[in-house]
Amino acid sequence: MLLRLLSTLIVLFWLGTVGWLCTVVFAPPESRMTEVDVREVYDVFFNWNEGTTMTLLESGARRGELRIAGSSGPDIQTGEINKILSLSGTLEKYEEKYESSVVDTYWKGNLIFDEEVNLDAGDFSVRIPRSSMTAFLSFEKDPPKVNASAQVAGKELFKFGGEENPSTALPLNMLPMGAGLGLGQMDLSSIRWRSVARVGEYSFGGRDMRAYLLILRAVEQDMTFRVYFSEVGEPLKVETDFGFEAISEILVPLEAYRKSQDQVDD
């Protein structure tokens, strides 16, 4: 009887231990974090009023930089509170003749939200020095319109929008290779984001700290972004489901630089 009881206790202890390990190791980080109102995360980020530089990684290897900043303040003309998300960065490419990585693409953009964090307007620009190409995209919600243009060596490649042709849809088939890939139009007003926010302890490169997690999903476009913030609103890490992630410079593992060089050597 005693032996049977002891055997039962051992089995139960083993099952409990395995279950606990599965929960800790395999469960997603948000399962161990407490859900909070998403406005709490937006408030700490847009009240942060500073910027941070992050390292852009592709499959764990360094591919460039991302600079991100959040700010808020009254609009000069209307007096309404605007929240601004500013983004800029570079994509790098390894050049054998220089035996180092050089900047291949420069890009920057701004997204402007109202006090309720509804997207009002935005702009985005890209410059590719090696091909002397520049491109620009801007949009507004009220009245709804999209403007886009691109130039190569000062020659206009395409232009869309303007006062004479207002629209919320960007014709992707006008972009280089767009028609060949069978792309149609992207209606910016049709994108619907679902957001969930959590707070709790998270490990960044072996360092445990209390952080916010904001999960953004565009369901119809099948896109997900996961953004970690410190308690004061500083972005720590950005994860995507298409191979790219961004990590604050103070948290980037050295393996990312080694992996980038190893891929070049291969």
Distance set, CA 21 to CA 18, 108, 188, 207 (Å): 5, 43, 43, 20
Decide if 23 contacts 205 (C-beta within 8 A).
no
pLDDT per position as a tens digit, 13-68: 343 443 433 444 444 566 667 899 999 999 999 988 788 999 998 888 888 999 99
The runs of H, that is alpha helices, within the chain are 2-26, 38-46, 255-265
Give the number of other CB atoms < 10 A from CB of residue 259.
16
What pLDDT was estimated at residue 6? 38
* Overall pTM > 0.95: no
pLDDT per position as a tens digit, 200-235: 988 876 778 899 999 999 877 678 999 999 999 999
Burial class (CB in 10 A: 0-12, 13-18, 19+), 87: middle
Please say whether the dihedral angle defined by the alpha carbons of residues 57, 25, 193 and 224, taken in this order, is positive or negative.
Answer: positive
- Strand pairing category for 119-128 and 155-160: unpaired
What pLDDT was estimated at residue 112? 92
Check whether 177 has a pLDDT greater than 50.
no
Decide if 125 contacts 136 (C-beta within 8 A).
yes
Question: Where residue 7 falls among pLDDT bands split at 50, 70, 90?
Answer: very low
